[in-house]
A and B are shown apart, each in its own frame.
Chain A
Amino acid sequence: DSGVTQTPKHLITATGQRVTLRCSPRSGDLSVYWYQQSLDQGLQFLIHYYNGEERAKGNILERFSAQQFPDLHSELNLSSLELGDSALYFCASSVATGKGYGYTFGSGTRLTVV
């Protein structure tokens, strides 16, 4: 157990639907990062939150949004889902944003859009 909790582990939904992925960071970690992993694109950075504040956005589609709550858990919302959104979605946390701080990843949510 890495200490980063992601739910649900698996999600199957239809095109056009909306889903919410949840992440609880490791105790004491203020930063949460979301990544998408697909076979053809590898691990792609989506968004970074630090203590409730958005710090950076990557190649995140407009149909996707995220937030970090006061208790530091984070949610990634995916709407108007398309077949191409099927992927593994990982959340990672880090204690700080400084040099040398590594990430602790959760075990991911496997999203299948049918």
Chain B
Amino acid sequence: TQLLEQSPQFLSIQEGENLTVYCNSSSVFSSLQWYRQEPGEGPVLLVTVVTGGEVKKLKRLTFQFGDARKDSSLHITAAQPGDTGLYLCAGSNYGGATNKLIFGTGTLLAVQP
């Protein structure tokens, strides 16, 4: 069974601070996605990374896929209260009949003004 462990589980920081969320697995994935979920809503896709070592930037968010495609990180620079939410990584494999996503355990981020 493929598992994705995220750390930390909870994070409470002040506005303007930087943070990094980690997503680790013992399994290799074809691609990895990051989602953000707010209370009462479904997860919203932030980014997809497909190549080992790939780095993608989305404004103040930087995503990296590990060289071995087993891990990923999300770095937020100068966090803002609007970044508050549950961050989920999700891995997928291709070549079969499905591209189902295996979701990580989640990181709950609270940014205090």
Which chain A residues have a beta carbon within 8 Å of chain B's beta carbons? 2, 4, 31, 33, 35, 42-45, 48, 50, 55-56, 58, 90, 92, 94, 97-108
Contact across chains for B100 and A102 when beta carbons are under 8 A apart? no
**Chain-A contact segment, one of B11-19, B20-28, B70-78, B101-109:** B101-109
Contact across chains for B97 and A42 when beta carbons are under 8 A apart? no
Q: Which residue of B lies closest to A96 (CB)?
A: B99
Instruction: Show 19 A/B contacts (Cβ-Cβ < 8 Å), sorted by A.
Output: A2-B42, A33-B100, A35-B103, A42-B103, A42-B104, A45-B102, A50-B97, A92-B42, A97-B94, A97-B97, A99-B50, A99-B94, A100-B50, A101-B99, A105-B35, A105-B42, A105-B43, A107-B41, A108-B42
User: Residue B64 at the A interface, CB < 8 A?
Assistant: no
Query: B42, B99, B104, B105: which contacts A90 (Cβ < 8 A)?
Result: B42
A33 vs B42: C-alpha distance when bound (angstroms)? 13
In angstroms, how far is the closest chain A Cβ from the Cβ of B51? 10
In angstroms, how far is the closest chain A Cβ from the Cβ of B26? 18
In angstroms, how far is the closest chain A Cβ from the Cβ of B9? 11
Query: A55, A56, A99, A107: which contacts B30 (Cβ < 8 A)?
Result: A99
New contact pairs (13) apart from A99-B94, A103-B43, A107-B40, CB-CB < 8 Å: A35-B103, A44-B103, A90-B42, A97-B97, A99-B31, A99-B50, A100-B48, A100-B50, A103-B101, A105-B35, A105-B42, A107-B42, A108-B40
Contact across chains for A55 and B97 when beta carbons are under 8 A apart? yes
In angstroms, how far is the closest chain B Cβ from the Cβ of A98? 6
Q: Which residue of B lies closest to A44 (CB)?
A: B103
In angstroms, how far is the closest chain B Cβ from the Cβ of A91? 8
Query: A56, A90, A94: which contacts B97 (Cβ < 8 A)?
Result: A56
